[in-house]
């Protein structure tokens, strides 16, 4: 299926042959018995075993009878049953499971009975009841009745490990899947075993449980800035792999029974990884989301945002019918025909007549490939403009040239598997844990085998977990920092190794010359280059051409032959020649009254430094395609409801360039943006041909990629020298935390509670220079200010870091500037 | 009649026996000097030839264990001495380290030299602070005298010794849990393979030996293999410390050749306390199946004890006379295992929890006939199913006591109470349980 799989099969693998329950099986050397049994369809009951975690051998449920050849080759039985989850196969081994050995069956039955003596057997009220490995295996491998008549161990319940994760200790069978996940996979050892024997229990550091009795612990647990033990971005996975109902989530607890749920596979809309998810719903309502198993992308893990942030689409501000602004100046529900007519009228007025200043389109970065395609085709064929840009974030022309020349329409480039195998990875303008989610997990898998370098103002906790080396850089200085990776520097040497990768994030767009230098560095070292944006729609929109200078397939708008090719495919005479304006320019021009109509998709004004709200108010006609009555929708003239990802089908293209198609989970009347635009175009007399996903796929397929000469040239921009010094004016650094106040996390307070505390980070030297010891600091620009607790951090001097959109720290809205700008920092008030 | 053969205990009655000077006056550190002049392989061969078997209980040949270390790759390799003696009844390493700590230190030095270790660790049970202090002082004295440290006696061999006190967990006597604990982690047994010889302490090749095994090495080097093999039986060579406790006139440590019988040892100890007879005893601590008076003449060597259905273990001979309630003893032992189960694996964690409750009921007279079978069934669910040997050990006393004294369990159930007068078994002033409990709580 993938290049990785191909490589694996071509390598000669040393195999061994053994017999399991009389069936001959040949598996690679080093395979565990339990895995080998799976190969021949024999299911051995298990709890602690998990294919992606290291063997523990703790639960003892998977005991089997084993005989193996000794040194002379005589097959001799082991005197006692062996844990099939820890023992590797041997040539000539004979394994008898519970199906063919009384010893194994009896051993398993005994372990099951022991597991259940202290289990509350509260299945009727347990979230896991109905999908519980303990329940299932108790039925298949247990006694019908318990002989335990004594007193069960009890615990206070539930213990809240975080605002989201709750632990019922008496249900726990101490398989350690959660603690092993936290240590091995997420690197967040925020839970561990405590106490011993029958009182052994999982928990966060707890002096009472540990019976410290007046002693002080030595050293401190990893803490966040609030002083609490650290919670993890990946904690929800522990709930999913818990083989009993010990770990539950506050948002799902007691809400549903698994057998009432309908499960639909899907793709997460939260980041560019395209993680496979499963949406579980009941009577048209989403109850929970789980990780789906996709070995090439997210394996079996997702971030907590992927898992828990879904209520945004079903809050009470959901739009189900079109809205049209009436004579009274208010939005009123309207019929589709009336709303479409009003929209068509407004748009037509903006593009017809000599005085018309034209329309512009801001689809937002969370659109699917099909939606992005429809937006740009609508702009170019209906509105006659290239003013379409999904980049409602920091963006630049250099970035567009970089994407057009080196990323778009290149198919699959660097993959997750490549990241895992890379001997060295250089990160620039990209924080894998905050901005990549699953990317972090893949890199973390190779910690110890991989050198990671991070061009950033400081080592985040995520980067620290990757054992990364910091190349301290102030925002704006990334270009020079990339240029400095040369000669015999450690980073340059490491990147010369076969398979090394340079990862650039979308934030580099705010740093002139950075993309130019990244390309040069890739060329210089032979390392592969990967662009990992944050939002789920970015790569798809890039492929679809929803950028002002790029047509579908990475064709440059300014290339006549490219325009001709696309025009022909679309059956139109010509396409607008002038390169369009970027999102920021569109907003600025609209605010200045130079745009007559705006089409706004899922854009949140508070994410933008430009004043979108003012732009909307100033623009004569604004059409909003929205799921919710957002700020933008509230200010629009016509609002057409569109479907959230769970109610539509479509494709996200993840950062690898992998198409991540998904089907409709919940069937509702809601329509995708591409279908709404198709209908609207018809109202305006144009056949857009984007009514269905199939139509769009067919068009994108036939358009194909640009010829080499049709692409934009690679950027050549000089990187400025950035002078970061402690003083009155500091350089602002900011990026989004994975869990923050993004619009798609609305309505999920339990998740929000696991977010990291907002702080302003300063180096000791920088703080001293402005006379800050501790307490609150004020970060201000001419536009506004933020007040945050200071966290003295080992970081580059002359820079202040704040989270981009966390509680109390909405940088774009409050400071009105992008990272790299100069800000003033003062001590507490 | 077998005689005592004091070797490790030879100096215990000397004035200030724990001092280096006393030890040296009795020929101490002669073996180290001799060993430093020998070829390393010859030392290992000598220990192999001596037939010395691990004195910690399992009886694995010590020399063979050393031989499992992979060839020197230039990196560190470690000797870890298991001094976490915590088994109920076992009391041999602690007196050794208390009275003659230098014999252990010398053994550590010779063993380290033989296996190419430059940093050895002694992991001592944390509760015995007096022994911990003795060891620290002994190591300090040995450094000062040049028996440890850089370039020991001009041989070019460097050795550092770290004495580490455990934090009170029986499980840390299990060698891999000990290593985890020594590394600063939670003491729970590790998955094997890799075995410590390949990846032990800090994932480096490591030999883990019991105190008595290591302390036996200097004598083997000093007096020779023939001397050592002249003692003991064909496959259980040498001498060992037999710790007698309970209902004997003179409890204590008796160092004698392996193969001695309990009858002989009881004689040396002045017999069972006056007016009483032997009822049952443990050959090797509470983890080994109990014996009765029918085993008085079983030679106490690895093979004979094994053949008779128990294990030589740590030669902790707990002697109980006819005044003792076997159910009561077994219940106390089981409470110990429940308390000390590390919790890692299901059978041991849950099984000991269950067994304790059943036994307490039976002992208190609230048991049922089904409970005896339940005890056996639960033991079967633990034995051979647990992650490490702790679980197996917890079942030994229960299944063996039911084997020999089933009627006594039945009597508790039938009479609805313990038929024994507990004060008769006590070796101290015995108050009624209620009063004793009150005082304990006061």
Task: Specify if A273 maps to a domain.
Answer: no
**Residue showing tokens 């630049």:** A396
Which of B277, B302, B321 delimits the end of a domain?
B321
* CATH number for A35: 3.10.20.740
Domain count, chain A: 5
Question: From CA A250, how far away is CA A165, in angstroms rounded?
Answer: 6
> Is A553 in the same domain as A648?
yes
**Among residues of chain A, what percentage have pLDDT more than 70?**
95
Give the pLDDT confidence of A796-811 residue by residue, as tens digits.
999 999 999 999 999 9
> Is B77 in the same domain as B134?
yes
Task: Specify if B44 maps to a domain.
Answer: yes
Which of A658, A683, A710 delimits the end of a domain?
A710
> Is A35 in the same domain as A142?
no
Residue A216 is predicted with a pLDDT of 56
> Is B293 in the same domain as B347?
no
> Is A432 in the same domain as A475?
yes
Task: Specify if A720 maps to a domain.
Answer: no
Tell me if chain B has a CB within 8 Å of the CB of A368: no
Tell me if chain A has a CB within 8 Å of the CB of B195: no
Residue A3 is predicted with a pLDDT of 44
- Residues on chain A touching B354 (C-beta within 8 angstroms): 114, 117, 148, 150
Task: Specify if A716 maps to a domain.
Answer: no
A380: which residues sit within 8 A by CB, 6+ positions away?
A: A386, A388, A551, A575, A576
**Under an 8 A CB cutoff, do B349 and A81 touch?**
no
Domain count, chain B: 3
CA Rg value for chain B: 22
DSSP alpha helices (H): ranges in A217-266?
236-241
Closest CB to B343: pick one of A79, A113, A200.
Answer: A200
Where does residue A24 rank: exposed (0-12), middle (13-18), buried (19+ CB within 10 A)?
A: exposed
> Is B216 in the same domain as B250?
no
Give the pLDDT confidence of B338-359 residue by residue, as tens digits.
999 999 999 999 999 999 999 9
Task: Specify if B7 maps to a domain.
Answer: no
What confidence tier does A586 reach under pLDDT thresholds 50, 70, 90?
very high
Tell me if chain A has a CB within 8 Å of the CB of B169: yes
If DSSP codes are grouped into helix, strand and coil, which group holds residue B389?
A: helix
Question: From CA A584, how far away is CA A393, in angstroms rounded?
Answer: 8
Task: Specify if A586 maps to a domain.
Answer: yes
> Is A699 in the same domain as A571?
yes
Give the pLDDT confidence of A53-70 residue by residue, as tens digits.
999 999 999 999 999 999
> Is A581 in the same domain as A525?
no
Asked if ipTM goes beyond 0.90, one says yes
Question: Per mean pLDDT, which range of A193-197, A516-520, A762-766, B339-343 is the poorest?
Answer: A193-197
**Under an 8 A CB cutoff, do A110 and B354 touch?**
no
What confidence tier does A8 reach under pLDDT thresholds 50, 70, 90?
very low
> Is B127 in the same domain as B62?
yes
* Residue A219 pLDDT > 90: no
User: Average pLDDT over chain B, rounded to whole?
Assistant: 95
Task: Specify if A692 maps to a domain.
Answer: yes
Which of A675, A710, A745 delimits the end of a domain?
A710
**Residue showing tokens 């089997």:** A64
> Is A128 in the same domain as A191?
yes
Task: Specify if B393 maps to a domain.
Answer: yes
**Under an 8 A CB cutoff, do B186 and A192 touch?**
yes
Task: Specify if A278 maps to a domain.
Answer: no
* CATH number for B395: 1.20.1440.230
> Is B307 in the same domain as B372?
no
Q: Which residue of B has its CA nearest to A151?
A: B357
Which of A71, A96, A117 delimits the end of a domain?
A117
Q: How many CB pairs under 8 A join A and B?
A: 101
Distance from the Cα of A548 to chain B's closest Cα (Å) equals 57
> Is B223 in the same domain as B87?
yes
**DSSP label of A218:** S
**Under an 8 A CB cutoff, do A60 and B347 touch?**
yes
Task: Specify if B15 maps to a domain.
Answer: no
> Is A509 in the same domain as A598?
no
Which of B303, B321, B339 delimits the end of a domain?
B321
What is the residue range of B334's domain?
326-425
Torsion of the alpha carbons at A210, A216, A222 and A225, rounded to the nearest 10? 120
Closest CB to A59: pick one of B339, B346, B351.
Answer: B346
- Residues on chain B touching A111 (C-beta within 8 angstroms): 346-347, 381, 385
* Residue A81 pLDDT > 50: yes
User: Average pLDDT over chain A, rounded to whole?
Assistant: 93
> Is B174 in the same domain as B262?
no
> Is B86 in the same domain as B172?
yes
Q: Which residue of B has its CA nearest to A172?
A: B346
> Is A361 in the same domain as A419?
no
Q: Which residues pair with A624 in a beta bridge?
A: A600, A639
> Is B312 in the same domain as B333?
no
**Residue showing tokens 């390949």:** B198
Residue A143 is predicted with a pLDDT of 87
Q: Which residue of A has its CA nearest to B371?
A: A147
Tell me if chain A has a CB within 8 Å of the CB of B321: no
Where does residue B290 rank: exposed (0-12), middle (13-18), buried (19+ CB within 10 A)?
A: buried
What is the residue range of A142's domain?
123-148+155-255
> Is A593 in the same domain as A699?
yes
Tell me if chain B has a CB within 8 Å of the CB of A90: no
Closest CB to A196: pick one of B342, B357, B385.
Answer: B342
Task: Specify if A548 maps to a domain.
Answer: yes
Q: Which residue of A has its CA nearest to B188?
A: A196
* Six-digit token string for A70: 């000794």
What confidence tier does A204 reach under pLDDT thresholds 50, 70, 90?
confident
The strands making up B160-165's β-sheet, listed across from edge to edge, are B160-165, B119-124, B78-83, B206-210
Task: Specify if A688 maps to a domain.
Answer: yes
* CATH number for B244: 3.10.20.600
> Is B49 in the same domain as B141?
yes
Question: From CA A702, how far away is CA A324, in angstroms rounded?
Answer: 37
* CATH number for A811: 2.40.40.20
**Residue showing tokens 């490589």:** A7
> Is A776 in the same domain as A705?
no
**Under an 8 A CB cutoff, do A117 and B354 touch?**
yes
Which of B278, B293, B321 delimits the end of a domain?
B321
- Residues on chain B touching A177 (C-beta within 8 angstroms): none
- Residues on chain A touching B377 (C-beta within 8 angstroms): 110, 147
> Is B285 in the same domain as B393?
no
Contact B20, B142 (CB under 8 A): yes
Higher-scoring residue by pLDDT: B154, A213:
B154
* Six-digit token string for A564: 């001709």
Residue A205 is predicted with a pLDDT of 72
> Is B67 in the same domain as B185?
yes
Question: From CA A524, how far away is CA A513, in angstroms rounded?
Answer: 16
């Amino acid at each position: 299926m993938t290049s990785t799989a191909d490589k694996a099969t071509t390598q000669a693998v040393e195999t061994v042959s053994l017999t399991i329950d009389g069936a001959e099986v040949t598996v690679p050397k080093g395979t565990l018995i339990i895995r080998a049994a799976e190969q021949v369809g024999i299911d051995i009951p298990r709890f602690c075993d998990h294919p992606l975690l290291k063997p523990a051998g703790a639960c003892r449920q998977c005991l089997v009878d084993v005989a193996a050849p000794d040194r002379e080759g005589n097959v001799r039985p082991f005197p006692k049953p062996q844990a099939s989850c820890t023992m590797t196969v041997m040539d000539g081994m004979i394994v008898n499971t519970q199906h063919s050995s009384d010893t194994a069956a009896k051993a398993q039955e005994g372990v099951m009975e022991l597991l259940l003596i202290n289990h509350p057997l509260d299945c009727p009220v347990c979230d896991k009841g109905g999908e519980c490995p303990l329940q299932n295996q108790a039925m298949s491998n247990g006694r019908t009745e318990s002989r335990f008549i004594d007193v069960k161990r009890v615990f206070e319940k539930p213990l809240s490990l975080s605002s989201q994760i709750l632990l019922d200790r008496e249900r726990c069978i101490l398989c350690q899947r959660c603690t092993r996940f936290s240590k091995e996979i997420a690197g967040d050892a925020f839970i561990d075993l405590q106490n011993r024997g029958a009182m052994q229990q999982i928990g966060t550091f707890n002096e009472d449980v540990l019976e410290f009795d007046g002693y002080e612990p030595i050293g401190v647990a990893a803490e966040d800035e609030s002083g609490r033990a650290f919670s993890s971005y990946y904690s929800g996975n522990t709930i999913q792999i818990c083989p009993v109902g010990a770990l539950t989530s506050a948002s799902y607890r007691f809400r549903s029974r698994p057998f009432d749920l309908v499960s639909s596979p899907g793709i997460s809309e939260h980041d560019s990884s395209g993680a496979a998810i499963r949406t579980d719903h009941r009577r048209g309502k989403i109850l929970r989301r789980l990780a789906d198993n996709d070995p090439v992308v997210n394996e079996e893990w997702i971030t907590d945002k992927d898992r828990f942030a879904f209520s945004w689409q079903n809050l009470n501000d959901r739009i189900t019918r079109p809205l049209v602004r009436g004579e009274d100046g208010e939005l009123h529900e309207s019929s589709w025909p009336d709303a479409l007519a009003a929209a068509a009228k407004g748009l037509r007025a903006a593009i017809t007549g000599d005085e018309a200043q034209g329309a512009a389109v801001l689809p937002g970065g969370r659109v699917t490939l099909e939606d992005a395609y429809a937006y740009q085709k609508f702009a170019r064929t209906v509105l006659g403009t290239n003013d379409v840009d999904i980049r409602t974030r920091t963006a630049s022309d250099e970035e567009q040239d970089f994407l057009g020349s080196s990323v778009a329409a290149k198919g699959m480039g660097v993959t997750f598997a490549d990241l895992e195998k890379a001997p060295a990875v250089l990160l620039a303008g990209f924080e894998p844990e905050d901005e990549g989610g699953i990317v972090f997990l893949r890199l973390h898998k190779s910690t110890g085998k991989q050198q990671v370098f991070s061009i950033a103002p400081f080592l985040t906790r995520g980067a620290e977990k990757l054992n990364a080396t910091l190349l301290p850089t102030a925002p704006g200085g990334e270009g020079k920092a990339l240029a400095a990776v040369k000669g015999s520097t450690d980073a340059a040497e490491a990147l010369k190794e076969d398979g090394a990768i340079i990862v650039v994030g979308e934030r580099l767009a705010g740093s002139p010359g950075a993309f130019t230098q990244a390309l040069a560095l890739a060329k210089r070292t032979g390392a592969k280059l990967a662009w990992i944006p944050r939002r789920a729609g970015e790569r798809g929109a890039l492929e679809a051409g929803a950028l002002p200078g790029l047509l579908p397939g990475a064709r440059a708008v300014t290339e006549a032959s490219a325009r001709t090719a696309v025009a022909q495919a679309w059956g139109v005479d010509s396409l607008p020649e002038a390169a369009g304006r970027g999102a920021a320019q569109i907003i600025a021009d609209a605010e200045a009254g130079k745009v007559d109509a705006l089409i706004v998709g899922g854009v949140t004004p508070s994410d933008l430094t430009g004043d979108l709200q003012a732009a909307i108010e100033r623009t004569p006609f604004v059409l909003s395609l929205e799921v919710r009555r957002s700020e933008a929708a509230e200010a629009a003239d016509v609002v057409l409801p569109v479907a959230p990802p769970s109610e539509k089908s479509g494709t996200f293209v993840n950062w690898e360039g992998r198409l991540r198609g998904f089907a409709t989970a919940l069937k509702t009347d809601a329509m995708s943006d591409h279908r709404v635009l198709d209908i609207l175009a018809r109202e305006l007399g144009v056949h857009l041909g984007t009514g269905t996903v199939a139509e769009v796929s067919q068009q994108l397929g036939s358009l194909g990629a640009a010829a080499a000469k049709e692409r934009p040239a690679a950027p050549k921009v000089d990187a400025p020298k950035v002078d970061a010094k402690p003083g009155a004016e500091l350089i602002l650094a900011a990026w989004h935390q994975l869990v923050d106040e993004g619009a798609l996390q609305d309505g999920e307070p339990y998740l929000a509670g696991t977010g990291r505390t907002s702080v302003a980070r300063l180096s000791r030297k920088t703080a001293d220079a402005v006379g800050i010891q501790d307490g609150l600091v004020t970060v201000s620009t001419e536009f506004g200010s933020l007040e945050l607790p200071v966290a003295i951090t080992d970081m580059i001097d002359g820079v202040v870091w704040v989270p981009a959109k966390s509680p109390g720290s909405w940088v774009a809205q409050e400071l009105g500037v992008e990272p790299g700008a100069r800000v003033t920092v003062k001590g507490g008030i | 009649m077998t005689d005592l053969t004091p070797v490790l205990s030879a100096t215990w009655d000397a004035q200030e026996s724990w001092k280096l000077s006393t030890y040296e006056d009795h020929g101490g550190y002669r073996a180290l000097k001799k060993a430093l002049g020998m070829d390393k392989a010859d030392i290992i061969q000598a220990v192999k030839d001596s037939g010395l078997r691990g004195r910690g209980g399992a009886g694995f040949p010590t020399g063979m264990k050393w031989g499992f270390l992979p060839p020197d790759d230039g990196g560190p390799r470690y000797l870890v001495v298991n001094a976490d003696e915590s088994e109920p009844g076992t009391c041999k390493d602690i007196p050794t380290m208390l009275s003659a700590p230098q014999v252990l230190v010398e053994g550590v030095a010779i063993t380290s030299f033989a296996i190419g270790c430059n940093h050895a660790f002694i992991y001592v049970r944390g509760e015995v602070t007096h022994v911990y202090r003795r060891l620290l002082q002994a190591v300090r004295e040995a450094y000062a005298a040049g028996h440890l440290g850089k370039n020991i006696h001009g041989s070019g061999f460097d050795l550092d010794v770290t004495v580490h006190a455990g934090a009170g967990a029986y499980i840390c006597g299990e060698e891999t849990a000990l290593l985890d604990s020594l590394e600063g982690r939670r003491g729970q047994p590790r998955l094997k393979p890799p075995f410590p010889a390949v990846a032990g302490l800090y994932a480096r090749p490591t030999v883990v030996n019991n105190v008595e095994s290591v302390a036996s090495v200097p004598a083997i080097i000093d007096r020779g293999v023939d001397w050592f093999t002249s003692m003991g039986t064909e496959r259980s060579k040498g001498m060992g410390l037999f710790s007698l406790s309970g209902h004997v006139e003179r409890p204590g440590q008796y160092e004698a050749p392996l193969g001695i019988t309990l009858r002989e040892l009881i004689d040396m100890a002045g017999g069972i306390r006056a007016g009483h007879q032997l009822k049952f005893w443990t050959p090797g601590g509470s983890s080994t199946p109990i014996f009765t008076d029918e085993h008085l003449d079983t030679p106490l060597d690895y093979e004979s004890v094994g053949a008779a259905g128990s294990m030589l273990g740590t030669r902790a001979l707990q002697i109980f006379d006819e005044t003792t309630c076997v159910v009561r003893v077994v219940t106390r032992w089981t409470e110990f295992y429940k308390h000390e189960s590390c919790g890692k694996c299901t059978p041991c964690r849950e099984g000991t929890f269950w067994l304790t409750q059943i036994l307490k009921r039976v002992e208190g007279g609230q048991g049922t006939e089904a409970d005896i079978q339940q005890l056996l069934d639960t033991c079967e669910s633990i034995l051979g199913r647990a992650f490490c040997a702790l679980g197996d050990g917890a079942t030994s006393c229960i299944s063996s006591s039911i084997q020999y004294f089933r009627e006594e369990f039945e009597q508790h159930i039938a009479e609805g109470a313990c038929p024994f007068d507990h004060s008769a078994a006590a070796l101290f002033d015995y108050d009624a349980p209620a009063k004793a409990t009150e005082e304990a709580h006061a």
